[in-house]
Amino acid sequence: MAKNFLCTACGKCCYGQLPLTIADAFLHADRFPLAMIWTPLREGSKDYPMVSHLGTTIKLANRKELAVLIVPSSYIPSSFACPALGQDNLCSIHANKPSRCRTMPFYPYREEQYQAELLTPRPGWECDTSEAAPVVFHEKKIIMREDFDQERQALLQQAPLIRLYADYILKYMPLIVDSLVQASAKAKAGQVVTSLSSFLTATRNTEAKQIARQQLPILNYFVIKTAGQKDLTEYHKNYVAWAKEMAYLSK
């Protein structure tokens, strides 16, 4: 069955966390408050094979496994607009926007055959899915696929570095496994969050000092923006801790 879709630039999808490739995260380190988001999946999930391919797998004591997607992300609350969303409700970095934004609504962390369900707009979104919109998906295949293929290729290329990071965290923060198991049991995909500074350290990034200097004012801005908001306590706590880490790395 053919699926139609056209972005109307309503800006409704430009809120909350934004998954990024490593390259996009570093390119926009002076704009987004960055974190590493771990999303675990249990065996049997339709996304399990792709997640294990792009992320990592963790063996559990009961002979079971978790596949874990580990993604550098713009870490902001769902009620906050993307820092790049302009006052005119348009993207202020459209010509240089992250590949995740270019590929929307398709999602290369998922097998191509399962992309159709992503073409149903969330409540309140103003995407055009009428017959007047172009056909973008047909017979389990993406028609307009250049952006999808480019993002998928970037994810495949960075997978070894993601796994190196996962091995580092599992070695030095073994209790994260318990958190991932708990997150995997949630009805809606749960998350575990680690700092970008841990990724820079684990991968021995030679640009760590410069990235830290870019991140520090961004994190401090979000420390102020989330202060005193009870529903954003977790975000605020993380921003405070990560700002301290980036201050240390920036020296």
Query: Does 25 fall in a domain?
Result: yes
The end-to-end CA distance of the chain, in Å, is: 56
Q: What is the mean pLDDT of residues 80-96?
A: 95
Nearest to 100 by CA among 18, 14, 206, 157: 18
pLDDT digits (tens, 9 = 90+) for 96-127: 999 999 999 999 999 999 999 999 999 999 99
- Predicted confidence band of residue 62 (pLDDT cuts 50, 70, 90): confident
Q: Tell me which residue range forms the domain holding 91.
A: 3-205
Query: Does 99 fall in a domain?
Result: yes
Q: Would you say residue 82 has pLDDT above 80?
A: yes
Strand locations in 63-158 (E)? 65-74, 135-138, 141-142
Query: Does 178 fall in a domain?
Result: yes
Query: Does 55 fall in a domain?
Result: yes
Q: How many structural domains are present in the chain? A: 1
- Cα separation, 30 vs 32, in Å, equals 6
Question: C-alpha 106: how far from its chain's center?
Answer: 14
pLDDT for the residue numbered 30: 98
Query: Between the CA of residue 103 and those of 66, 75, 99, 119, 213, what are the distances in Å?
Result: 27, 19, 6, 12, 29
- Cα separation, 178 vs 217, in Å, equals 33
pLDDT digits (tens, 9 = 90+) for 180-214: 999 999 878 799 999 999 999 999 999 999 999 99
pLDDT for the residue numbered 127: 97
The token pair that represents 208 in the structure block: 């760590």
Nearest to 25 by CA among 240, 199, 226: 199
Q: What is the mean pLDDT of residues 18-38?
A: 99
Burial class, 247, CB count within 10 angstroms (exposed 0-12 / middle 13-18 / buried 19+): middle
Query: Between the CA of residue 126 and those of 11, 152, 235, what are the distances in Å?
Result: 9, 26, 28
DSSP H or E stretch at residue 225: helix 208-226
Query: Does 47 fall in a domain?
Result: yes
- Predicted confidence band of residue 175 (pLDDT cuts 50, 70, 90): very high
Burial class, 98, CB count within 10 angstroms (exposed 0-12 / middle 13-18 / buried 19+): buried
CB 19 within 8 A of CB 76: no
Instruction: Give the chain's radius of gyration (CA, Å).
Output: 19
What is the percent of the chain where pLDDT is above 90? 96
In sequence order, the β-bridge partners of residue 58 are: 66
- Predicted confidence band of residue 146 (pLDDT cuts 50, 70, 90): very high
pLDDT digits (tens, 9 = 90+) for 5-22: 999 999 999 999 999 999
pLDDT for the residue numbered 59: 95
pLDDT for the residue numbered 199: 99
Please provide the average confidence, as pLDDT, over all residues in the chain.
Answer: 97
Q: Which sign does the torsion angle of CA 119, 120, 121, 122 carry?
A: negative
Question: C-alpha 249: how far from its chain's center?
Answer: 23
CB 14 within 8 A of CB 82: yes
Query: Does 249 fall in a domain?
Result: no
Query: Does 214 fall in a domain?
Result: no
Query: Does 34 fall in a domain?
Result: yes
